[in-house]
Structure 1
Amino acid sequence: MTAAEQQNPLHRRSLLRAAAALPVAGAAVAAFETPARASAASAAATASSAAHAGRFDPRSPRFALAVLPDTQYLFDADSADPAPLRETFRHLVAERGEANIAFMTHLGDVTEHGTEDEIERAADTFRTIHGKVPYSVLAGNHDITGDDQRGDSAYLAAFGPARYASMPTYRGASPDGYNTYHVLKAADRSWLVLALDWRISDKGLRWAQSVLDKHPTLPAVLTTHDIAWSDDDGTAQLSDNGKRLWDGLVRGNDQIFLALGGHYWPPGRTVLRNDDDNDVHVHITNYQDRYYGGAGMIRTYGFDLARGVIDVETFSPWLLSRDPGKRSLLEAETVELTGPTDRFSLDINFDERFKGFAPVAAPKPRPASAVMPRGTVAYWRFDASGTTAGGTAGKPVANGAVVRDLTGNGNDLTVSRLASSGSDAVTWSPDHHPGQPAHASLRFDGGKSPDRGAILSTAARAALNAEKFTRGYTIETFIRLPEPFEGDHAWMGILSWEGRNGDAGKTTGWSPLEPTCSLNLSSERFLQFVVYPERQDADPTSWSHAVPVGRWMHIALVNDGRRTVMYVDGSKIARNPSQLSTGIATLGKPFVIGATQFDERFGQGFYGWIGDTRIVNRALPVREFLTPFE
């Protein structure tokens, strides 16, 4: 526990992980979900943890790779004590479902002397995890001598290919048996783990290359005993053996994005650039110099493909399982390591990093007929099916250009510019949300001064102008804000119905001059959806979080005839009003994309991109949005 944690008992880690313990698995360590949740030891909590055991979800975008470094001092002749390692294994088994642990890899030096007795003690300890969490073990210099052509050994008899044969992840071994590889199913894709001997031979390198050649689209994690050493500040550099691996295997195979080793201490890390000019993260993990030979210390690599990060944490389940009030000073110092080489996050855009060997196929455009469910009253898109303005990026969309309502309901939109805005106020763009049905958008260059921008409006007698939606509605659109988001664009409109709410007899709102329905962006980049219902004298307003710049987002406003809920990228936002909201008090005036009126006047236009926009006269479930969210 750090000094800061001792001074602040509500510190995130000290509260959640070190506050209390369970005898076996109650301190749930989800390094990639929430840091471990420790609770009072009880049979109920233990049963709850046991209920999660084995429930690994291969489709979740979040999963963990557990890394176990040198355990040699726990298997050192007659001073051996396998208890810490057994506790680590029990913890991984019990928390597999909670933490979504895909695999565990040992980095070598299982034992101190590699004797038959030490090896057998270690092999027996591994039975705690065997058949419950798949794993790999590789040989370190304290387990064997020479390179992987050494022949038979006590280590090979216990930790050779026969040990892994029943594991669903195991795919094969080198002819000598000292190198293995495993294929994991996690985050809805396959991952390769190479477990290489501490001194891999030229034959072994050729075998490893053949494995990569056989699985050319799989991202690969290389594990070995000796790859890098570190200065006291945690700056790692390749060892002599690491240089051989780098030149002979890693640098020329873009698949290898993470290389893990033990052997040396202190722990450290570095980032190298391979022959494809991509990052390879090289890490040393070893705690045998710490209290109790490392106390069965485990490191978790929490892959989060949704956030584009790997969150790394290091802790001892054995020490974590003890009563915090009875831990010795050394136990308290070792229960979790929080230095910059022990707890950190790696930012990785996985699709971008892996595109050279496993490019993600871009979704194809979907025809309008495929995305017009029952009750669709209007649908606009900006590809060739919706407008003739497209085809050339940056081409101005002329005043008078028509964007057709593809439902055939006649709610076509006509382009016009605000005040004396120039041709660049609205241009065509091939940019689009990855999940958008049409692969096109309009780029709006609106602003406050002078009144600058462009709008797309329905005709004076369009049916949409007077639609009341008393049975509910779903309004969807795609937008992207520029990065950098320059200028003052506070309260710019995205879409709206024209007309004053006061003219609809509404009296409770911020001003009787604002329109009856509008989607806007505040000065803090919060989305604001304000609606004056048809059947209530009210103005229930939904607010989002501060939305990002530089990337596309999907926005949905869903009303079930009683209340309205805003969704951003398929996620329900928090600030949805509980007020009744039935219908929209439209006044027979045009629906507009690109701006919001005040007192029937447009003061500024939207700044950014707008894509497909659809209105349905009922509440849609998330799975039926324009882009599917699960």
Structure 2
Amino acid sequence: MCTSHDQEQGEAPQAGAGRRGFLRATALLGAAATAGVALPGVAEASPAAATAGWRPDTDSRRFTLAVMPDTQYLFDGPSINPAPVEASLRYLLEHGRDDNIVFLSHLGDLTENGAKEEFAAIGKAFELLDRRGVGYSVLAGNHDVRSSTNDQRGATPYLDTFGPRRFQGRPTFGGASSDGYNTYHLFRAAGREWMVLALDWRLSAQGYAWAKDVLARHPKTPVILTTHELVVDDDALSSYGQQLWDRLIKDHDQIFLTLNGHYWPAGRAVRTNAAGNDVHLHLTNYQNRYFGGAAMIRLYHFDLDRDVIDVETVSPWILGRAAKGLNELERQEIELSGDADRFSVGIDFADRFAGFDPVPVRPARPASKILIRGTAAYWRFDSPVSGTVRDLSGRGNDLAVVSVGGDTLGWSADHHPDQPGHGSLEFTGFKSPLKGAYLRTVDGAPLNSATFRDGYTVEAFYRVPADWDASHNAWAGLVGRTGTGGAAGKTEGDPDEPLATLSLSDGPGPQWAVRPLNQQGIATNWGDETAREKWWHVAVVNDGRHTTMYVQGSPVARNPHATAIGLTSVGLPWLLGGYEYGGKIDQILYGRLGDVRIVERALPVTSFMTH
């Protein structure tokens, strides 16, 4: 850990003359001024990249936060060498667009002795970001200031170089404490505001009060807290880190991630805050490794669609030298792949942030909004079923409840977040002995004889419980029509299979198996497995020639290319939640079924009920 100056002087490659020779021999990236000697450099970013402004994609749900820990051995009295830091900063500039890098956080101990000359050198290196308007934060570590002091220490070379004046006017700069040692920064990513709260090596009472006030003034903003000391080892906080947790982090649910350096090796901890949510606390520091860590950077790749942060650790300085050949130590350090340096953190962001910034619930939409042109049937379950379920299309395709073994249909307010109706039916089907309840269209319903020769769209919302078991629950139908292939004179394959069924396979996953008008055999669309305890939307779209299945609005892989025209009918009812085999009910759904709509034409994804 960086608590003793003597401890941190042991890196042999830091010796001035020896290092200068080493750098010349290996054609180091960038220019390093060491004792007045200019070393060979390489080109910076392309001219266009060098002059263009910093333009992260603020709407993309994938973005990257870059982190640079302790760089002190590179700025140590006569051993000042900014080249590795410059290489890392150039890397961010050159890869900013590809990785959608939105911000950089330095974790303190920028220098070894906190001297004016050391800060002048690293301050100049960071001008690479200043010239491009890149958002970044720094903070003081115990080697940047007198370690016995807190944020009320007064003037220092650190403050002269990286004080609030440096950041004034920068779009991401939110403000600083009156002493200048604590700052907060706001950036936009994934369509929302995020904060980096950069705190001094040691907070005073005034520092804590300032931080709490900043959080109170941004009550809906997720916060990444950076400081020099917090985590000391895997699943362990330092005594000061525990103080930060107790006095600030624990009671502020906005703080979901903390980043610190100071100690080594890298490690992680997770703590549960007062709101009952996990806070991920990460230690990253490489100053004990080759070339004082070589200004390694850690990249936090946020993906809000996958609900994950993928983390990687690389040395741009060594990467830039690879073409010229690397020595033994460089080959080991070019990219770190251990569990503490390359990992993923799963976070359901919407759920994690719901306590302070809940996602607004989409209101129910009236049935009239869902009755688009060509709607053949539309059923929704806004209240418990008693007797007949009306077809809201007005076409007369009403549903009646059929009970097996005396079971009934339950009701729940649970529903897919994008479902028009805010309710669902609970089916309790079981294979053996067969029991449950399902719905069927009434005799004489127009839907029973419809063949959809010009195309169709069948949509449904469903959810299966955690204890859904393939041996008892697989192959129940969500939506389907009765009548067998044999009854229709189509005996290729199994003649006892129904003429059309949207069923849940043993995955469970949706399967559309039908006998089109132009085929003797069964045409099948297979969906991928869909997770339990989650609402899904499935749509089957036929354009009069081909059939495509969509799950959550995305086409599945196993959509057949053969021509499939319409649906064969023998004039028998359709079922919701039931599946017939050989003309008899064979399986009943176990799970929840939301709105179901059948339209007598092919719909684009933008016309699905989820839109």
Q: What range is the shorter-chain TM-score in?
A: 0.7 to 0.9
Instruction: Give the letter for the 2:536 counterpart.
Output: M
Unaligned 5+ segments in structure 1 are: 1-22, 25-42, 385-389, 391-396
Query: What is residue 343 of structure 1 aligned with on the other side?
Result: 342
Query: What is residue 141 of structure 1 aligned with on the other side?
Result: 142
Within a 5 Å distance, the mapping from 1:357-368 to structure 2 comes to: 357-368=356-367
Query: What is residue 194 of structure 1 aligned with on the other side?
Result: 197
Deviation per CA, 1:306-339: give whole Å up to 9, x if none.
2322222212122233437822221121112222
**Whole-Å separation in 1 of the counterparts to 2:47 and 2:120:** 31
**Whole-Å separation in 2 of the counterparts to 1:322 and 1:616:** 61
Deviation per CA, 1:321-358: give whole Å up to 9, x if none.
34378222211211122222212222222233222222
Relative to 1, partners in 2 of residues 1:295 and 1:375: Cα closer, same or farther, differing over 3 Å? same
Query: What is residue 213 of structure 1 aligned with on the other side?
Result: 216
Of 510, 515, 518, 2:501 maps to: 518
CA contact (8 A) 1:52 1:98 kept: no
Instruction: Give the letter for the 1:141 counterpart.
Output: N
Query: What is residue 527 of structure 1 aligned with on the other side?
Result: 510
**Whole-Å separation in 1 of the counterparts to 2:171 and 2:276:** 34
**Whole-Å separation in 1 of the counterparts to 2:326 and 2:520:** 63
Deviation at 1:47, TM superposition (A): 11
Instruction: Give the letter for the 1:92 counterpart.
Output: L
Deviation at 1:263, TM superposition (A): 1.0
Within a 5 Å distance, the mapping from 1:92-491 to structure 2 comes to: 92-130=92-130, 131-145=132-146, 146-230=149-233, 235-323=234-322, 326-384=325-383, 390=384, 397=385, 401-418=387-404, 421-424=405-408, 426-486=409-469, 487-491=471-475
Query: What is residue 40 of structure 1 aligned with on the other side?
Result: none
**Whole-Å separation in 1 of the counterparts to 2:593 and 2:370:** 18
Deviation at 1:416, TM superposition (A): 0.8
Secondary structure, counterpart of 2:216 in structure 1:
helix
**Whole-Å separation in 1 of the counterparts to 2:571 and 2:322:** 70
CA contact (8 A) 1:527 1:545 kept: yes
Deviation per CA, 1:98-146: give whole Å up to 9, x if none.
2222211110111222222221221121122233531111111222223
Query: What is residue 16 of structure 2 aligned with on the other side?
Result: none
Range that drifts further, 528-537 or 136-145:
528-537
The number of aligned residues is 566
CA contact (8 A) 1:310 1:346 kept: yes
Query: What is residue 75 of structure 1 aligned with on the other side?
Result: 75
Deviation per CA, 1:10-62: give whole Å up to 9, x if none.
xxxxxxxxxxxxx99xxxxxxxxxxxxxxxxxx9x989999999552222332
Percent of aligned positions that are identical: 49
Secondary structure, counterpart of 2:128 in structure 1:
coil
Deviation at 1:506, TM superposition (A): 3.3
Instruction: Give the letter for the 1:474 counterpart.
Output: T
**Whole-Å separation in 1 of the counterparts to 2:166 and 2:455:** 60
Relative to 1, partners in 2 of residues 1:228 and 1:461: Cα closer, same or farther, differing over 3 Å? same
Secondary structure, counterpart of 1:423 in structure 2:
coil
Relative to 1, partners in 2 of residues 1:617 and 1:320: Cα closer, same or farther, differing over 3 Å? farther
Deviation per CA, 1:520-577: give whole Å up to 9, x if none.
1222323211122223444321111121111111111112222111111122111111
Query: What is residue 19 of structure 1 aligned with on the other side?
Result: none
Relative to 1, partners in 2 of residues 1:325 and 1:577: Cα closer, same or farther, differing over 3 Å? farther
**Whole-Å separation in 2 of the counterparts to 1:150 and 1:526:** 63
Deviation per CA, 1:358-396: give whole Å up to 9, x if none.
222222211111222222111100114xxxxx2xxxxxx
CA contact (8 A) 2:501 2:579 kept: yes
Relative to 1, partners in 2 of residues 1:182 and 1:427: Cα closer, same or farther, differing over 3 Å? same
Secondary structure, counterpart of 1:546 in structure 2:
coil
Instruction: Give the letter for the 1:194 counterpart.
Output: L
- Normalising by the residue count of structure 1, what TM-score does the alignment of the two structures yield? 0.85
Query: What is residue 558 of structure 1 aligned with on the other side?
Result: 541
Within a 5 Å distance, the mapping from 1:486-497 to structure 2 comes to: 486=469, 487-497=471-481
Range that drifts further, 517-526 or 534-543:
534-543
Relative to 1, partners in 2 of residues 1:50 and 1:417: Cα closer, same or farther, differing over 3 Å? farther
Instruction: Give the letter for the 2:593 counterpart.
Output: I
Relative to 1, partners in 2 of residues 1:257 and 1:618: Cα closer, same or farther, differing over 3 Å? same
Deviation at 1:518, TM superposition (A): 0.9
Deviation per CA, 1:478-498: give whole Å up to 9, x if none.
111111223522322221111
Secondary structure, counterpart of 2:402 in structure 1:
strand
Secondary structure, counterpart of 2:331 in structure 1:
helix
CA RMSD in angstroms, aligned pairs only: 2.5
Range that drifts further, 365-374 or 608-617:
365-374
CA contact (8 A) 2:145 2:158 kept: yes
The structure having more radius of gyration, on CA atoms, is: 2
Deviation per CA, 1:423-444: give whole Å up to 9, x if none.
34x2122221122111111111
**Whole-Å separation in 2 of the counterparts to 1:291 and 1:493:** 61
Deviation per CA, 1:194-226: give whole Å up to 9, x if none.
011112222121111110111112121110111
